[in-house]
């Protein structure tokens, strides 16, 4: 999870990722940032995020993003 927080802070350092629950809904992450985030996640965690998983709910908090990574690592 620490590496994920580091990646998120590189993309937008002005957000409290530990507590923010509305990254997409609050417009902290826009579509271009999410594409960059997906690329970083795939490179750093060795997973491929399927298009069907790229929905706002999966990216609204660091916890949800981490849950998605964990799920994909287990597959």
Q: How many residues does the chain have?
A: 75
Other Cβ atoms less than 10 A from the Cβ of 20: the count is 16
Question: How far apart are alpha carbons 37 and 65 in whole angstroms?
Answer: 10
pLDDT digits (tens, 9 = 90+) for 24-41: 999 999 999 999 999 999
Nearest by Cα to 35 from 24, 19, 22: 24
CA atoms within 13 A on the CB side of 61: 8
Instruction: Say what the pLDDT of residue 71 is.
Output: 97
Domains in the chain with CATH codes = 2-74 (1.10.1200.10)
Question: What is the arithmetic mean of pLDDT over 33-55?
Answer: 97
Q: Is the pTM of this model over 0.85?
A: yes
């Amino acid at each position: 999870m620490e590496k994920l927080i580091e990646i998120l802070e590189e993309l937008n350092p002005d957000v409290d990722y530990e507590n923010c629950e509305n990254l997409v809904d609050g417009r902290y992450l826009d579509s271009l940032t999410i594409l960059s985030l997906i690329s970083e996640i795939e490179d750093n965690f060795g997973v491929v995020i399927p298009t069907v998983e790229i929905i706002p709910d999966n990216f609204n908090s660091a916890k949800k993003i981490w849950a998605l990574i964990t799920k994909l690592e287990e597959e």
